[in-house]
Amino acid sequence: MAGDSTRTTIWRCELCDYKTDRRSNFKRHQETGIHQNVACFQTSRQVVNDVFDVPCSKQTFDMSSDQLICSDDEDTDCLYGNECPDRDCENEKLVEDNEEKTGKWFPFSSKIEFYLYVLMNSTTHPVSDEVVKFVIHILKQCGVEGIPSLNTVKRRKFGTFDWNDFLLQGMDGDSVPMWIVRPSSVAKLAIAHPDFSKSLVRFPKYNTLDGYNHPSCGGKWRNDLTFHSAAIQEDQQILFFKDEICSFEVNGSKQLGMIYTFVENVQAGEKEAIVCLIQQLTTDTQNNTSGRAFEITEEKENVPLKYLKKFPVDERDTFFRPAGPLNLEELGVNNDSRTPIVTLPLNIFLDDTSTHRSKRWLALHCIQMQLSGVPMSQRHKDKNIHFIGASEKVDIMKLTELAVADIKECQKETFISYDAHNKQECVIKCPVDVIVADNNVVSLCCNHLGASAVKYCPRCHATSETFDDIIQLRTPEETKRTVSRLNLRSKEGDKAKLRKETGIKENFNCLWDIVDPHKDIPVGLLHLIPLGLAKHLLIQIVRQMDEKRIKEMGCHLQSLTPQLGTDFFKYIESRQGKDFKNYLQVAPFNLVYAGAEGPFIRLTCTLALIQKQLNMKSINNEELGELRGNIQKFHELICDHLPNFARKLKTHLLLHIIDDIERHGPPTAYDEDSFEKNHGRIRDQIFLQNQKARSRDTASKYAQHMLCHHVVTGGYFKHGESWKQASATTVHAGCDPVVESFLGWKDEPSRDPGTILRFNRNQHGRKETYPFNEETFGHQIEKEYEDQTFYRGKSMVALSKEVVNSGDWVEYTKCNDERSYGVFSEGIEFSMSSHACIIKAEKLQTYDQQLGCSLLQLTTSCEYVKASTVQRQCSIIHDCKGGHCRMRYKVAPRKVEQQKLSKKQLVFVHNDEHKIYMLNHFKL
């Protein structure tokens, strides 16, 4: 109802003892972490929406269980609320269960059971059973009713999904037990989850504009993996299967073909079948048959699925291949009743971590996996990296054998799951795409002697004398023959001689049946460049410098990348891969300033360019040619200036990375970083155990976590005769930011490009407004804004979704799409648009002679452009050598133990009068 206009509306949160007279402030309070932590632990939530003098719109706020109270002695409207902000879940569609039948918190019995289940199943914030017991005790002491027991929560299963069924136990030759999470179970859950199922790449891609932008663009998917079935996009009920006989029209004439595989034409946006053309032979009338005989040729043709029609095959028809006739079972005659078959290629990661934090090294062999069809933008997220198994008691190849056994069983048997995207049951097949491993594990997987062998490459017969060439690729047949020859020799001396000649050793290897280890273990970026060539090269350079120059380099480096610090070179041999990766992007500038020798600078520049090219998300044929040229240049420099590097295996492995890209897609699709960072979490799980059965307890914990993530985020599970999701209430709670953060699933917030951030605010915390002044903007902003006020901000979001702060260099485009550079000064926001104030830089016609970088000259004039034209933050390096920038002792602020201190220290001071800068084209 309409109230007195002089009355004030007070918005209160009773939970947090917070009140305000501004609705926007109250809404902002509801989004704070403190409020959400308090609100989400309330045991009941009911909506009370009473109408007072100022009505509360449900579209504005969804009020919670706190009652709305209006006091008689206060001339105010009092509103309370503790509702967590509504958040759209990523699921395409939730199944609207009948809550009267299944319960509001289905598949859980109550709200308290849901939150206890979440509490027990975080990998980022692991909680021991004792902690959960004590939480249950606290709840009981507080009088909370309906609390489930610890065993009830631990043994929770959902329909046919039981985490115990996800585990597989095995034993090595000495009867030592080990446990893993079944890779097939991970694949089952993935395809049954709406988010994963919708985004997965399911077929090989071709005709892409970006070249190699995903593993599906590589030769392994096209030529070696089997894709069994595909449906017409317009009608998912019309299924075609591999080896099925179909008909189609070519230039008006009917043509027969047998389906060889399925692919996706990216530019046409449709699925196609690659069919082997069939020719009809002469009629056989003497045997009283239908007389139809067909020959399946080697000629292939791509046909869109929508143009294919099923061809009725008679039992008396005969089909021939060059090798001989085919029986009808091989042609899939009864395909109408078959279930769709979804192929889910896997990436398997093998590596060692430690079981101890402070004791001596005790290797814990770890296996992790990832679905190869995950989009590139999602590959490095924690939710797409899955733990398989870990053990310090058995050999890593024995642990791998257990995972391989499950993969082989999945390939042979019928493993049923649910395709959440197409809403139908399906059969899954899980071939292995690649094995990701470091050099030590690669030697085991390839039965190779290692880098100490004369033929030190596990993929070809190259030696240190032929390091710049690929000599006779190794094959599985050849390697297995050599292993057999080694096993036949009785004398150890004869074995050692043969090992030295061939580079092959006779260790146990379980991978021969599922992959070709010589082709399907691509060179890993982390160990190839940051922890390999970059580390060796920088150590070689630093050893030839005196202490004074190293000090200058450290001081100059801190001005370029403060996170590396001045002590980077002091502890260079113990630095991590990410440190070398970051340093290599600025190393050429650092070495030029320090006056390093020319050959070292050229080697560093070439290696930095190779690193940049290998870290691209997509690589076309032209870029692949440039990469091949840079590798050749690097090898020539090695021959001329560092011949001892020819003995390093990683110098030679640069050649094989070209083959890896053509076969498996861009190297960023299978790099080790995402798997390596998961080792810490695996160790954290171990330290919460009693250490009596590390392999079993770790696998059990991850199986429970995997099932928890699937259910509470809306994944399907078989309940009775149908596949169901958790109730909308459960999934909404699972999508709560507090729950997602605790379980380690929360993604970084995504802001719209062009958004202005960090506004100037007055003493009351409100955004400061400024009147439009044409002179201020130098006639660069349209006059349509002259009657408006605007806000100023110190940051903005670029088109690349990076946050750009005041003082950062940016790349932006003008109206003619000309690429320009400048320093972002501030953001300007009007009611309907936003602009960026940029200090312009002019691009000079000359290049830096040593580094080949473009030169820029910073001006004093400003330019106002649309915020949406700011492309990205870019790396621009000051010409310190030309500007004669120097080190000085200066009192500089520092932060130690969260305390601000001032200390006199050696800092690098740039010459502000020298306005020449270099565009860093080594930046990733």
DSSP assignment, residue 161? B
Is pLDDT above 90 for 70? Answer: no
Q: Which of residues 209 and 651 earns the better pLDDT score?
A: 651
What pLDDT does 806 receive?
92
Identity of the highest mean pLDDT range in 148-157, 180-189, 241-250: 180-189
How confident is residue 146, by pLDDT bands cut at 50, 70 and 90? confident
How confident is residue 779, by pLDDT bands cut at 50, 70 and 90? low
Is pLDDT above 50 for 720? Answer: yes
DSSP sequence for 530-599: IIIIHHHHHHHHHHTS-HHHHHHHHHHHHHH-TTT-TTTTTTGGG--HHHHHHHHTTHHHHHHHHT--HH
DSSP assignment, residue 627? H
Measured distance CA(539)–CA(678) in Å, rounded:
28
Average pLDDT over residues 331-355: 78
Tokens for 463, please give them.
């030696």
Model confidence pLDDT, tens digit, residues 458-472? 999 999 999 999 999
DSSP sequence for 52-64: -SS---TTT----
What pLDDT does 51 receive?
30
What pLDDT does 348 receive?
95
Mean pLDDT value across the chain = 83
The residue type at 156: R
Least confident window among 49-63, 498-512, 874-888: 49-63
Model confidence pLDDT, tens digit, residues 355-410? 655 556 677 889 999 999 999 988 888 888 999 999 888 999 999 999 999 999 99
How confident is residue 53, by pLDDT bands cut at 50, 70 and 90? very low
Model confidence pLDDT, tens digit, residues 277-328? 988 876 554 444 556 788 888 888 899 988 898 888 777 778 887 777 776 6
- Whether residue 890 contacts residue 907, with contact meaning beta carbons closer than 8 Å, is answered with yes
Q: Which of residues 681 and 914 earns the better pLDDT score?
A: 914
Overall size of the chain counted in residues: 924
Average pLDDT over residues 350-356: 76
Average pLDDT over residues 863-884: 90
In the three-class reduction of DSSP (H, G, I as helix; E, B as strand; rest coil), residue 795 is classed as strand
- Whether residue 867 contacts residue 882, with contact meaning beta carbons closer than 8 Å, is answered with no
Report all structural domains of the chain as residue ranges with CATH numbers, in order of start: 8-80 (no CATH), 99-160+706-743 (no CATH), 165-199+344-434+693-704 (no CATH), 226-338 (2.30.30), 448-502 (no CATH), 525-669 (no CATH), 756-874 (2.30.30)
